[in-house]
């Protein structure tokens, strides 16, 4: 089941949104790449034919064996019972394209095939600049789609991947080469392990955007969307505008969205996802104490996500992730920090001093619980070791809380049942570095807070409107300048660009009351932001993302939010 949700980028039901998404991309970037030849595959064809429209080939593998850069393979409706190995690459200007012919619906079916436990129904190994679009891929006896070796610049688009014996889309590699690859607009569901998994991809640079992931069983503790599996770690990953629901089962531990993993990992953007009806939690962590490298690990952002029934959980230390403007609805334990590994219990990076830098930062979120829950705590720290909730470790600011009657906080020794006086005691504990400044405890009804069931835009009566805070502030003065030094730069995202290609759209920011200015680069170590156009500011000027009203709202979806200014003149890779 897909619930209706409206987010900053995902404002339509999935099928309608996907059509609109690709219509915009085709409009902005053209209708395709230059092609050297067009070949055809149909179940009525033969592999000894010419591969023309009049004489199509019978198998996809026949086409995969002969394509050259710029070639397009159009595939007709039918069931193709074969495994396919892509071994031939395109180039940056002439990609190899395999897609469904207009109005056609080809199916790659693994029923009855023998491909080995670690085989794949569709496999990419050491190839680049290949696009696969518009296929149903089903019934694989192993991996459904596997990416391995040093494969890069792949586009896996508009696929329907389901009922495989392993994971749906398994991204193992590249180890060295930046992937600069995109998985978008696809449905990944009802696989025995996970949905979309990034595993040992130490080359980094994947974007997982606009997919619907559901019904994956999670055998072996695999997740709906999982990033950072294995001991290799990964980096520069965008997980954006996905719908994730109904993953896992009572017999299998599965999170809807888990971005972290072992090994050094850094620069994750988890944005605009909608999670509902799932077991497990939303997780983003920096690899744990054994893997953490100061100045390298972390720089993760979790923002504008709506999670219904699944709270935020972290258990890796240090974990200086920025968690802001999310909405958590009826999650029981909406914010849970588990410490079973670190005697110090410090979520922050002790090599940093001053300001927000190096701390877990939790700002402008909505934690809303209005139904009875088996969890006695809305916020909780637990485990074999204590969690350091002082300012050096974690900072909470301008969050909104709705607590079910009788429910507690389990934070800094303050217990409930929650009431205004208990909430005040919570906020005043641990002076002078108070645990949660600017936050609001509300008794508002759902009908006063949100637009409708499954639409978590704020209403005009919401106590969250204009109650958020700017993300950071300027530490230098600028006069017609493009170099901005801030208290914490890692609140922002610069598009993860390499050699003129951007994995995603960089943020635009407002400095004080300026018009939005696009970011060119973010240096999280030096807390420096490079701007695309010059601006003026003074020391202490607030710096944040564009917002509507007098101040940012709390939660994922602003009141009366309309389109915000978007960057222009950017080359975003793998979009057409």
Q: Which of 300-309, 328-337, 415-424 has the lowest mean pLDDT?
A: 415-424
- List, in order, residues 6 or more apart from 142 with CB less than 8 Å away: 115, 116, 117, 118, 119, 120, 121, 164, 165, 166
Encoded tokens for 565 = 């200014």
- Are the beta carbons of 195 and 170 closer than 8 angstroms? no
- Are the beta carbons of 551 and 513 closer than 8 angstroms? no
pLDDT single digits (tens) 199-253 = 999 999 999 999 999 999 999 889 999 998 877 789 999 999 999 999 987 667 7
Please count the other Cβ atoms lying within 10 Å of the Cβ belonging to residue 116.
9
Q: Which of 41-45, 426-430, 540-544, 551-555 has the lowest mean pLDDT?
A: 426-430
How would residue 389 be classed by pLDDT, with cut points 50, 70 and 90?
A: confident
Question: Quick one: pLDDT at residue 568?
Answer: 36
Provide DSSP, 515-527. Answer: PPEEEEEEETTTT
Q: What is the 3-state secondary structure (H, E, C) of 241-299?
A: CCEEECCCECCECCCCEEECCCCCCEEEEEECCEEECCCCCEEECCCCCCCCCCCCCEC
Can you state the percent helix, strand and coil of the chain, rounding each to 5? 5, 35, 60
Per the prediction, the chain carries an average pLDDT of 88
For residue 305, the Cα-to-chain-centroid distance in whole angstroms is: 9
Please count the other Cβ atoms lying within 10 Å of the Cβ belonging to residue 123.
22
Strand 181-184 with 152-157, pairing:
parallel
Question: Across the chain, which distance is largest between two alpha carbons, in Å?
Answer: 81
Question: Quick one: pLDDT at residue 562?
Answer: 52
pLDDT single digits (tens) 110-126 = 999 999 877 999 999 99
Strands of 46-88 (E only): list them. Answer: 72-75, 78-80, 84-86
Encoded tokens for 559 = 């009141």
Alpha carbons 212 and 160: distance in angstroms, whole number: 10
Alpha carbons 124 and 401: distance in angstroms, whole number: 47
Assessment of whether the complete model's pTM goes beyond 0.85 = yes
pLDDT single digits (tens) 369-378 = 999 887 878 8
Alpha carbons 265 and 445: distance in angstroms, whole number: 40
Q: Which of 44-58, 75-89, 528-542, 560-574 has the lowest mean pLDDT?
A: 560-574
Which has more pLDDT, 439 or 453? Answer: 439
E strand or H helix at 40: strand 38-41
Angle value at C-alpha 24, between 22 and 28, nearest 5 degrees: 115
């Amino acid at each position: 089941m897909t619930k209706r949700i409206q987010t900053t980028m995902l404002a339509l039901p999935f099928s309608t949104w996907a059509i609109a998404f690709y219509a915009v991309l085709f409009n902005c970037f053209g209708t395709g790449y230059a092609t050297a030849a067009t070949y055809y595959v149909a179940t009525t064809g033969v592999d000894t034919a010419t591969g023309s429209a009049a004489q199509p080939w019978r198998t996809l593998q026949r086409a995969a064996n002969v394509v050259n850069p710029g070639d397009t393979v159009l595939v007709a409706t039918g069931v193709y019972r074969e495994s396919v190995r892509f071994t031939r690459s395109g180039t940056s200007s002439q990609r190899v394209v395999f897609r469904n012919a207009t109005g056609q619906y080809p199916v790659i079916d693994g029923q009855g095939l023998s491909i080995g436990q670690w085989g794949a129904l569709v496999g990419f190994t050491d190839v680049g600049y290949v696009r696969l679009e518009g296929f149903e891929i089903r019934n694989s006896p192993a991996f459904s789609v596997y990416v391995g070796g040093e494969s890069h610049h792949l586009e896996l688009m508009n696929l329907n991947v389901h009922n495989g014996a392993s994971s749906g889309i398994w991204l193992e590699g590249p180890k060295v080469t930046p992937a600069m690859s995109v998985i978008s607009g696809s449905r990944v569901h009802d696989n025995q392990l996970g949905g979309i998994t990034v595993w040992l991809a130490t080359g980094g640079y994947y974007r997982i955007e606009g997919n619907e992931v559901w019904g994956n069983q999670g055998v072996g503790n695999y997740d709906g969307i999982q990033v950072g599996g294995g001991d290799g770690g990964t980096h520069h990953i965008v997980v954006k505008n996905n719908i994730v629901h109904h993953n896992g089962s009572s017999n299998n531990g599965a999170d809807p969205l888990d971005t972290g993993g072992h090994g050094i990992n850094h620069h994750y953007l988890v944005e605009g996802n909608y999670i509902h009806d799932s077991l497990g939690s939303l997780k983003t962590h920096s690899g744990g104490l054994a893997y953490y490298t100061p100045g390298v690990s972390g720089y993760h952002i979790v923002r504008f996500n709506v999670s219904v029934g699944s709270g935020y959980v972290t258990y890796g230390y240090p974990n200086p992730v920025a968690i802001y403007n999310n909405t958590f609805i009826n999650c029981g334990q909406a914010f849970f920090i588990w410490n079973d590994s670190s005697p110090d219990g410090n979520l922050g990076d002790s090599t940093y001093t001053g300001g927000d830098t190096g701390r877990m930062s939790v700002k402008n979120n909505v934690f809303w619980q209005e139904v009875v829950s088996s969890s006695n705590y809305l916020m909780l720290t637990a485990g074999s070791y204590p969690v350091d909730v002082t300012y050096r470790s974690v900072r909470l600011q301008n969050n909104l809380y709705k607590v079910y009657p009788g429910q507690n906080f389990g934070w800094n020794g303050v217990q409930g049942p929650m009431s205004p006086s208990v909430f005040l005691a919570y906020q005043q504990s641990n002076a002078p570095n108070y645990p949660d400044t600017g936050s609001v405890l509300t008794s508002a009804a759902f009908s006063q807070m949100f637009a409708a069931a499954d639409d978590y835009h704020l209403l005009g009566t919401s106590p969250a409107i204009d109650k958020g805070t700017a993300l950071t502030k300027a530490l230098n003065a600028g006069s017609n300048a493009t170099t901005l030094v801030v208290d914490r730069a890692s609140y922002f995202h610069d598009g993860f660009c390499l050699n003129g290609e951007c994995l995603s759209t960089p943020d635009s920011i407002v400095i004080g009351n300026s018009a939005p200015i696009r970011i060119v680069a973010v240096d999280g170590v030096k807390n420096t932001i490079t701007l695309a156009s010059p601006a003026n500011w003074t020391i202490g000027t607030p710096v944040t993302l564009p917002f509507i009203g007098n101040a940012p709202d709390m939660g994922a979806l602003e009141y009366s939010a309309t389109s915000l200014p978007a960057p222009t003149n950017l080359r975003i890779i793998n979009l057409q």
